Amino acid sequence: METIDVGLLSIVPPLVAIILALLSKEVISSLLIGILSGSLIYAIATDGGIIKMSTTAFTIMAETVGAPGKFNILLFLALLGSLVYLVTLAGGSRAYGNWACTKLKSKRSALLATSLLGAIIFVDDYFNCLTVGTVMKPVTDKYRVSRAKLAYIIDSTAAPICIIAPISSWAAAVGATLYETGSFTNEFSAFIATIPYNLYAILCILLVILLSVFNLDFGLMAKLEAKAGLTGELGSLDALSDDMVKMQDNATIWDLIIPIGSLILFSILAMLYNGGYWAGQGLSFSQAFGNCDASAALVLGSFWALIVTFLLFVPRKLINFKEFMGGIGEGVKTMVPAYIILTLAWTIGSLCQNYLGTGLFIGELVKASHIPVGLIPAIIFLVSALLSFSIGTAWGTFGIFIPIVVFISQYSAPELMVVTLSATLAGSVFGDHCSPISDTTILSSTGAGCDHLEHVSTQMVYAIIVAACSFVGYLIAGFSYGNLPLTLGSSVVLLIITLLIIHQIHLKKIKTENIENSSELF
């Protein structure tokens, strides 16, 4: 099969996928129908019919998923899901919570420890949401932290951490999708390039730290925190049973740290190995990383991390051999939704890019529209946020959007490609962060034992503030051609100033209300 020119029809597949996703709030069927619509267009244009449509769709799918890089990503997700499940099953996560209870002496330290655990568990957002909530509830309850605040910290250190962590399920998915566009040398370098410009993720994490250290809450969150502190009413639902996480008497904090540390260490060593660092080619550390096959390295790293985990858990009887092997299967099951979304996203991207000529058409369309190129990153941030909010998944959003953004950047603003792709990822996370139907939002409220709508309403205000500062940052990045110090510095300063102003307004409002209440008594 070869690339054909179908003009305006080339944008039908992504448009169908986006519109259906917005209407149905379901990304898998939307992507599949988008793929079938593109395959039908290709079949008709090449004098085929319904049969050729189906064979075209599944031929492209098989070729895409069967490529070594793609298959390695699926293997890594399977091994990662297994590792996550086993660490939870053995009680390593809960051991951290027990340890924290003995070491933390204040509300501030409890909040920071919760944030730290969220940052440590960066390999997968699902694992993060359920583990941090289950582990830290006893600690935060002790210091009267409202469950809404706990849910906010969990949610803000899940996807925002994963989207800038080089070794995670998100990094694997994003890197593979970016690499598929042909604009980067490998998956690892593609993902690394987007990290400094992922303004929403960076500012989101900064806001969590500022709120934890300086107690700068406002709005409904501040009221819930005040109520928790004064009356001890935390807003607890305890929907997540403690029985969901096994805890052996001899499990320790190292049963969490060693498996995750092993994953990081072995993945880095594998990247250096297949990047030629020890091959006698004289490559530097950074050159070896740039030359590595990241997907293959992640498979090796996760495999050896599982070996270490086996040697750490089974001889000490945290779990027996049968439980360990069963846990591998259960962990793989947790990744099935990710497999499906990735497969469909890769397929529609390949169909548009390699068979329908969507890139050339969109690029020429953007050129003809005369939109200032400096506005493109900010516009893409807003559009991807809207889609992600509507369908409740960042993965589905960047799977649909990345190929389109690459097309636009290649033909209109190649110098802003990295910034625009970063804006796509940032917008996807922002929309996912706010969406009440997002899986991570639901898991965060579940993990914290918090009312779901209360979590959404309290978090959304904070998320919108971060998004507004990020939007300004992308405007600056667009018109400064990606000047990183100016972009990141201005965004950080704007966030701090905005937070201080809003907090002062909140304090004045509280003071006014207290004066009015006092006057009513007389």
Segment 216-265, tens digit of pLDDT: 888 889 999 989 988 888 887 654 344 444 445 678 888 888 988 888 88
The pLDDT tens digits for 495-512 are 999 999 998 898 888 877
- Inform me whether the pLDDT recorded for 518 exceeds 70: no
> pLDDT for 155-165, tens place per residue?
998 889 888 88
- The pTM for the full model equals 0.74
DSSP string, 322-379: HHHHHHHHHHHHHTHHHHHHHHHHHHHHHHHHHTS-HHHHHHHHHHHHT--GGGHHHH
Confidence tier at 311 by pLDDT (50, 70, 90): very high
Determine the pLDDT at residue 271: 80
User: Do residues 174 and 396 touch, judged by C-beta distance below 8 A?
Assistant: no
SS (H, E, C) 118-172: HHHCCCCHHHHHHHHHHHHHHHHHHCCCCHHHHHHHHHHCCHHHHCCCCCCHHHH
Give whole-number Cα distances, 375 to 114, 237, 404, in Å: 37, 44, 16
- The owner of tokens 């030629």 is 276
What is the per-residue pLDDT for 359? 63
pLDDT digits (tens, 9 = 90+) for 71-80: 887 888 888 8
For residue range 174-227, what is the model confidence (pLDDT) as tens digits? 777 777 666 677 777 778 888 999 999 999 999 999 999 998 888 889 999 989
Find out whether 277 and 292 touch, Cβ atoms under 8 Å: no
Report whether pLDDT(129) > 80: no
What confidence tens digit (pLDDT) does each residue in 32-48 have?
998 999 899 988 888 87
- Which tokens in the block code for residue 494? 């704007």
| 450: β partners | 236
Rounded to an integer, the average pLDDT of 313-330 is 91
| DSSP letters for 187-235 | HHHHHHHHGGG-HHHHHHHHHHHHHHHH----HHHHHHHHHHHHH----
User: How far, CA to CA in Å, does 518 sit from each of 349, 400, 480, 513, 515?
Assistant: 63, 56, 53, 9, 5
Do 250 and 318 touch, CB atoms closer than 8 A? yes
pLDDT at 484 over 50: yes
| Average pLDDT of the residues in 482-486 | 93
Dump pLDDT digits (tens) for 92-116: 877 877 777 778 888 899 999 889 8
Identify the three-state secondary structure at position 257: helix
Residues paired with 236 in a beta bridge: 450
Q: Which pLDDT score, from 0 to 100, does residue 126 have?
A: 67
